[in-house]
Structures are given as C-alpha cells and as structure tokens.
Amino acid sequence: MIDPEGKSILVIQTHGIETPRRTYSPLFYAMAAAAMEMEALVWFTMDGTNQLKKGEAEKVQLDTTSDVTLKTMLEQAQDAEVKLRVCQQSLALWDMTPDDLIDGVEILGATSIISLALEFDHVMYF
C-alpha cells in the first residue's frame, strides 16, 4: 500500500439535502483521508451548497435508529481538520449569503476549484 502521509485529496460535493444518501459519503471519505494523515478539503458546489445552510443539515438523517445527522458528519469532519469550502457563485443559486452558512466554512470564487484541482494530489467527485 502506498504511504498516504503528505498527500492531499480534494473532494467535490455536488449533491445536497434533496438527495440525502449522497451527502454522507464525501464527508466520510474526507475524514478517512484525514485519519490517514492526508490533507483533505471538501468543495461544495451546485446542490451541495444547500447542506451548508444553517438549520438544514440537522434535517438529514440516514438512519432513523441513530442520532447521527448530516450536521453531526459536518462537525466531525471539521473536528478531523477537513477543510470545508463553498463556491461563492453557488451561494447565489440558493439565495444564500455568507451569514446563512454554518460556522467554519470558507467561501472561494469559482476559479478557485481549478487551482485546487491542480494543487491537490487526488480529486474525488460526488
């Protein structure tokens, strides 16, 4: 197995709260990469942006027998030092302002994704 230490992974998330089964995996994989001592960043764009709106992630729960919500996953990702970034232009798609975002999310312009994709060692797309 290749030593992942010092490597980086960019996870692009395009799915939001309307498709809850597609919201957990990108965060899970980013946390797994962070646990492997990799730099991990999740870029939220298109529909993925809406899960970062205050109050929305609490509504997404895949397993009704568990207390784990999408909010839990986002918090765990941040605790694992996964960076959460959102596309500025995608905020407009959802009529969102920076004040609507959960804490700890940085807003970057659309061209940033090109720079990030070139900078990171690996890219995953959801």
Chain segment 14-66, per-residue pLDDT in tens: 999 999 989 999 999 999 999 999 999 999 999 999 999 999 999 999 888 99
pLDDT of residue 62: 84
Report the domain count for the chain: 1
What is the CB neighbour count within 10 angstroms for residue 43?
25
Whether 73 is in a domain gets the answer yes
All residues at 6 or more sequence positions from 65 whose CB lies less than 8 Å from its CB, including other chains: none
The per-residue pLDDT for range 72-118, each reduced to its tens digit, is 999 999 999 999 999 999 999 999 999 999 999 999 998 999 999 99
Q: How far is CA 75 from CA 4, 31, 52, 72, 82, in A?
A: 24, 11, 11, 5, 10
36: domain CATH number is: 3.40.1260.10
Side-chain-side CA neighbours of 14 within 13 Å: the count stands at 5
Verdict on whether the full-model pTM lies above 0.85: yes
Tell me what pLDDT residue 1 has.
60
> Which residue range forms the structural domain that includes residue 104?
8-125
Domain-located, residue 72: yes
Is 104 a member of any domain? yes
Cα–Cα dist 31/34, whole Å: 5
